[in-house]
Amino acid sequence: MKIKQALAALALTGTLALAIPAAPTFANGAASTRNLILLGGAATYLIIQHNRKVHERYAEDAQRQAALQSENNDAWAAYRQEQRAYQEEVKVNQQLKREVAYQHNIVVAQRHQLASLGMKVARERTPSGQQVAMVTYGWGNI
């Protein structure tokens, strides 16, 4: 910000110097040349500093963009990983459902076999309230 203000002040001073007619002065050539060289050096210094600041800002913007892109890539990678994990979990759940259905069919078939043999099937409840099949052979619960 200070550089812009300095450049603006320098431009205003230069404009005023050219716009206001100057009274003829008697200056020697060495002082005039020295002043022109100093003015040129100051202008060159200000331009170099301004360009340095502009390039620093461009570098910061590029670095910020790279960081955002990296975060974006990381977020997409994490999303894809979560999606794969979810799909694997769905497969595991389907497999477990098939296993439970198979076990249920086996239990139903065994109950049917026991009933056809004339064995009494008692039902008990677990602490969670779910019924469980129990087989008795006449001497009590096992």
pTM over 0.85: no
Q: Is residue 109, in this structure, part of any structural domain at all? A: yes
Name the one residue in this structure whose structure tokens are 């769905």. Answer: 90
Quick check: is 63 in a domain? Answer: yes
| Polymer length in residues for the chain | 142
In a domain, 114, yes or no: yes
Q: Radius of gyration (Cα) for the chain, nearest Å?
A: 45
36-60 b/e with 16+ CB inside 10 Å = b? eeeeeeeeeeeeeeeeeeeeeeeee
Q: Which residues, 6 or more positions from 10, have their beta carbon under 8 angstroms from its beta carbon? A: 42, 43, 46
Residue 141, in any domain of the structure: no
**Mode of pairing for the β-strands spanning 121-125 and 131-135:** antiparallel
Domain count, the chain: 1
3-state helix, strand, coil in the chain (%, to 5): 75, 5, 20
Residue 31 lies in a domain: yes
The pLDDT value recorded for residue 47 is 92
| pLDDT by residue, tens only, the chain of 142 residues | 677 777 777 776 777 666 666 556 565 677 778 888 888 888 898 999 999 999 999 988 888 888 888 888 888 888 888 999 899 998 989 898 989 999 999 988 888 888 888 776 555 555 566 665 555 555 555 4
140 in any annotated domain: no
In a domain? residue 85:
yes
Structural domain boundaries, residue 87: 2-135
Asked if residue 30 belongs to a domain, the reply is: yes
Displacement of CA 71 from its chain's centroid (Å): 4
Per-residue CA distances from 142 to 18, 89, 134 (Å): 114, 37, 8
Helix axes 2-19, 29-117, angle to 10 degrees: 150
